[in-house]
Amino acid sequence: MSDTILETSGLTKEFRGFVAVNGVDLRVETGTIHALIGPNGAGKTTCFNLLTKFLPPTRGTIRFKGRDITGMRPAEVARLGLVRSFQISAVFAHLTALQNVRVALQRGRGGSFDFWRAESVLDRYNARARELLDQVGLGEFATVPAGQLAYGRKRALEIATTLALEPEMLLLDEPTAGMTHADVDRIVALIRRVRQGRTILMVEHNLSVVEGLCDRITVLTRGRILAEGDYATVSRNEEVIAAYLGSEAGSVAHV
Amino acid sequence: MSLGFSRAQATAMVVMVAFIIVGPAVLYPVFLMKVLCLALFACAFNLLPGYVGLLSFGHAAYFGMGSYIAAWTAKYWGLDAEAAIILGGLCGGALGLVFGWLAIRRQGIYFAMITLALAEMVYFFCLEAPFTGGEDGIQQVPRSPLFGIISTQQDMSLYWIIAAIFLGGFLLIHRIIHSPFGQVLQAIRENEPRAISLGYRVDDYKLLAFVLSAALAGVAGAAKSQVFGIATLTDVHSQMSGEVVLMTLIGGIGTVFGPVVGALLFGSLETYLAPFGDWVTVTQGAIFVACVLAFRRGLIGEIGARLKLGL
Ligand SMILES: Nc1ncnc2c1ncn2[C@@H]1O[C@H](COP(=O)(O)OP(=O)(O)OP(=O)(O)O)[C@@H](O)[C@H]1O
Ligand SMILES: [Mg+2]
């Protein structure tokens, strides 16, 4: 029996009269990989912003691990174990890959206000940081400034940084967007490996990734949930085919 | 080097220390002490725009209050030099805690405007409050002995103390930048939303940086009041806030040595152009405009960029 880790009810976000997210009731079960898909502008990123408190909802509530987190601040939500990545790659550009991961490790393990200590005390996190970099295939780029990494590697670094916090739940916003085939395969393999003991909610446009990875899919259009279910169910849904793929209708089943 | 200096910085450090040691043989010690106080002030200020990305337009408030508190306690309580200066720093820090807390939730220009407005309040408080001596300031502050035993009456004995305070403050700032805390500050500056998403309460980090900056500005002001034996409205005036921005800008915001060079240049112009009366301000202005136009990254920033070195 699986239980619910994240649950929203009536989640709504209006931007000056424009409703970007409209009465969304989302339920994510513990230990699953759950996809949030939908056409551009459907409100997926806005949903993530609401769930991680980067935006205050206009209406509705959010519960994480049974706690109402609707009124919390983003940093507190992250500390509860709900950590997000961003659609646009978010690395600390002038820090090396290793330092990027250490910044996350440092947050989890304390001492971040120590302004009188030498930076070298952070070396105690190096071993763990290297492990995490190896895990995403960035072992040899440890000393490269993150800003100089290729796009796919930046995304991989982001995932390593997020994993450093050992979050119970990850929200990944298009983790494979703009990646080469090889990079996509690496990320998919990585997500498979790190799902142990975690719940993942991901926005993903690449349907073959969704098909291969996700246990459950929620389709969002114009801020509303259109359909929900496993890949087979959702990909056969006429409305989904019409709304999500438009002129390409029918191709869902063949991706 | 355990202090975290790069080789270029270590070289610059040696040059700076040599200048401090040899300086008084060539130049007036009082002039050099003034420059050292201004340099510490500028370095303290630089911590915010250079390493947190916050532009404060009201740093004279912390410098000036440090100066007043040190002068008053040295004169009326007969505090020793070190106690008066520490108290000045604590006072700057405490004021920074309150003002920083009020300002930090605002971004960009709003942050700058709030710091400016709060500093204006401090100015008018100092103008009206009985203990500051109004227009006259606090005068004839005795140069109290260090730890009650080491005399500071002679310019040269006070000079070494001021030099030590400056170097201590300078190294502390360098350490702050290269500490675990400094690493978080850099992360916040580069990508604040990402830092938040990792669970950092970024306002707390900005506030601590603000308090440290204000406290060191307070120390600089306190040291200056010991050098000149006075604390006046000049130290809390918005012109002083503007001057510290200029010094830092000319030397190079976000460089370790830039504010020191900026303070030296600024202090020299002020002192050596003094005979020319009103033309000082005009000449200063012209030189600054020329500097800013020619070296957009500041003198040190520009040199560092040319040589591909972080200074
Ligand atoms: N801060 C904002 N202010 C006003 N409108 C916004 C804001 N953020 C998003 N929107 C609008 O809300 C709608 C949903 O945007 P959102 O970014 O959530 O879409 P998305 O599903 O993530 O799309 P994509 O697949 O392109 O990433 C869009 O029409 C967008 O223009
Ligand atoms: Mg999006």
Would you say B87 and B222 are in contact if contact means Cβ atoms under 8 Å apart? yes
pLDDT over 50 (residue A249): no
Residue B152's nearest CA partner among B72, B90, B223 is B223
Are A86 and B175 inside 8 Å of each other by CB? Answer: no
Residue pairs between chains A and B whose CB atoms are closer than 8 Å: 110
Percent of the residues in chain A that have a pLDDT greater than 70, as a whole number: 95
pLDDT score for B78:
79
Residue that terminates a domain, selected from A132, A166, A200: A166
Q: What is the mean pLDDT of residues B49-64?
A: 93
CA atoms within 13 A on the CB side of A48: 23
Q: Kindly give the distance from the C-alpha atom of residue A54 to the centroid of ligand 1, in angstroms, as a whole number.
A: 13
More confident residue, B102 or B282: B102
More confident residue, A27 or B295: A27
pTM: 0.89
- Three-state DSSP at A196 gives coil
Least confident among A156-160, B245-249, B296-300: B296-300
Contacts of A78 in chain B (CB under 8 A): 196-199
Band (pLDDT 50/70/90 cuts) for residue A55 is: very high
Q: Which domain holds residue B207?
A: 2-307
Number of domain units in chain B = 1
- Ligand 1 pocket, A44 CB below 6 A? yes
Summarize pLDDT for A141-161 with one digit per residue, the tens. 999 999 999 888 888 899 999
pLDDT score for A254:
41
Same domain, A74 and A24: yes
pLDDT score for A2:
57
How far, rounded to the nearest angstrom, does the alpha carbon of residue A93 sit from its chain's CA centroid?
Answer: 20
Same domain, A98 and A140: yes
Least confident among A241-245, B49-53, B302-306: A241-245
pLDDT score for A132:
92
Same domain, A14 and A133: no
Same domain, A99 and A32: no
Band (pLDDT 50/70/90 cuts) for residue B100 is: very high
- B310 CB-contact burial (10 Å; exposed 0-12 / middle 13-18 / buried 19+): middle
Same domain, A190 and A130: no
Would you say A13 and A177 are in contact if contact means Cβ atoms under 8 Å apart? no
The answer to whether residue B187 neighbours chain A at the CB level (below 8 Å) is yes
CA distance B258 to chain A (A): 20
**How much is the mean pLDDT over chain B?**
88
pLDDT over 90 (residue A193): no
- Three-state DSSP at A33 gives strand
State the best of B198, B200, B208, B212 to mutate against chain A, taking most chain A CBs within 10 Å.
B198
CA distance A125 to chain B (A): 12
Q: Which domain holds residue A48?
A: 1-81+167-255
Token duo for residue A112: 């971040």
End-to-end CA distance of chain A: 31
Rounded-to-integer distance, Cα A248 and Cα A242, Å = 8
Would you say B174 and B256 are in contact if contact means Cβ atoms under 8 Å apart? yes
pLDDT score for A78:
93
Percent of the residues in chain B that have a pLDDT greater than 90, as a whole number: 52
Same domain, A70 and A193: yes
Percent of the residues in chain B that have a pLDDT greater than 70, as a whole number: 97
Band (pLDDT 50/70/90 cuts) for residue B19 is: very high
Q: What is the DSSP string of chain B?
A: -TT---HHHHHHHHHHHHHHHHHHHHS-HHHHHHHHHHHHHHHHHHHHHHHT----S-THHHHHHHHHHHHHHHHHS---HHHHHHHHHHHHHHHHHHHHHHHTTS-HHHHHHHHHHHHHHHHHHHHH-GGGTTTT-B-----PPBTTTB---SHHHHHHHHHHHHHHHHHHHHHHHTSHHHHHHHHHHH-HHHHHHTT--HHHHHHHHHHHHHHHHHHHHHHHHHHHS-B-GGGGSHHHHHHHHHHHHHH-TT-SSHHHHHHHHHHHHHHHTGGGTTHHHHHHHHHHHHHHHH-TT-HHHHHHHHHT---
Residue B191's nearest CA partner among A176, A85, A125, A80 is A85
Residue that terminates a domain, selected from A111, A143, A166: A166
pLDDT score for A152:
84
Band (pLDDT 50/70/90 cuts) for residue B3 is: low
Same domain, A54 and A118: no
More confident residue, A210 or B63: B63
Same domain, A98 and A203: no
Beta strand A4-15 with A224-229: parallel, antiparallel or unpaired? unpaired
Q: State which amino acid sits at residue B40.
A: L
Same domain, A118 and A239: no
Least confident among A126-135, B88-97, B142-151, B191-200: B142-151
Least confident among A31-45, A192-206, A235-249, B25-39: A235-249
pLDDT over 90 (residue A199): yes
Number of domain units in chain A = 2
Band (pLDDT 50/70/90 cuts) for residue B1 is: very low
CA atoms within 13 A on the CB side of A137: 18
pLDDT over 50 (residue B102): yes
- Three-state DSSP at A12 gives strand
What is the DSSP-derived secondary structure letter of residue A245?
I
- Ligand 1 pocket, A187 CB below 6 A? no
pLDDT score for B295:
81
Q: Kindly give the distance from the C-alpha atom of residue A223 to the centroid of ligand 1, in angstroms, as a whole number.
A: 9
Which residue has the least CA distance to atom 22 on ligand 1? A45
Would you say A201 and A214 are in contact if contact means Cβ atoms under 8 Å apart? no
Same domain, A174 and A158: no
pLDDT score for B304:
83
CA torsion A212→A216→A220→A225, rounded to 10°? 160
Summarize pLDDT for B108-136 with one digit per residue, the tens. 889 999 999 999 999 999 888 888 887 78
pLDDT over 80 (residue B153): no
Rounded-to-integer distance, Cα B87 and Cα B145, Å = 16
Same domain, A228 and A127: no
Percent of the residues in chain A that have a pLDDT greater than 90, as a whole number: 49
pLDDT score for B258:
92
Would you say B252 and B288 are in contact if contact means Cβ atoms under 8 Å apart? no
pLDDT score for B23:
85
CATH of the domain at A178: 3.40.50.300
- Three-state DSSP at A171 gives strand
pLDDT over 70 (residue A251): no
CATH of the domain at B53: 1.10.3470
**How much is the mean pLDDT over chain A?**
87
Q: What is the mean pLDDT of residues A163-192?
A: 88
Same domain, A60 and A102: no
